[in-house]
Amino acid sequence: MALVTSCSSAAPTAKAPSFAGAWGYAKKCDSGHFLAIMLEQRGNHVTGDWSEGTNLRGGGGKLEGEVREAKLYVRYCSDDGEAGYAVCPAFSGVEDYFALEKGALVRYQKSGPRYERDVALHPSSKGHQVPFDTKCMEEEP
């Protein structure tokens, strides 16, 4: 009687990390800066809303993206066309990616052929303020 064993050489499919939820960034100095995003995720596909600005002006719109190799690559559209993106529902090409790092959602902005680390967003919930970024370029009055 021969013993037959079966081995699968297929690697298990890695589950995409979850980017879902509300995320926020805030800075009071350097003319202020805020960024808020709300993400919904189904498998590797992510959709959501964004708003970003300074103490002087801001904008918002929608985003959509895909998780690849633990990074969320996103495309944006703008509610009013003022943020440098196409007016919704037309989306821009892939602009940025986000990565989860130590409990934060870090944005890497596309700069030519490279991506540069930008801001770290924190989980956001109604009634709770996200921690302020205290790295300032200018002295506060």
User: Does residue 11 belong to any structural domain of this protein?
Assistant: no
User: Does residue 60 belong to any structural domain of this protein?
Assistant: yes
User: Does residue 52 belong to any structural domain of this protein?
Assistant: yes
With bands split at pLDDT 50, 70 and 90, how would you rate the model's confidence at 138? low
Closest CA to 61 of 41, 35, 43, 42: 35
Task: Tell me if residue 47 falls in helix, strand or coil.
Answer: strand
With bands split at pLDDT 50, 70 and 90, how would you rate the model's confidence at 80? confident
The answer on pLDDT for 100 being more than 50 is: yes
User: Does residue 131 belong to any structural domain of this protein?
Assistant: no
Q: Residue 68 belongs to what domain range?
A: 21-123
Alpha-carbon gap, residue 74 to 67, rounded angstroms = 9
Q: Domain total for the chain?
A: 1
pLDDT of 14 reads 67
Tens-digit pLDDT profile for residues 102-137: 999 999 999 889 999 999 999 997 777 777 777 876
> What is the pTM assigned to this prediction?
0.81
User: Does residue 59 belong to any structural domain of this protein?
Assistant: yes
Residue type, 14: A
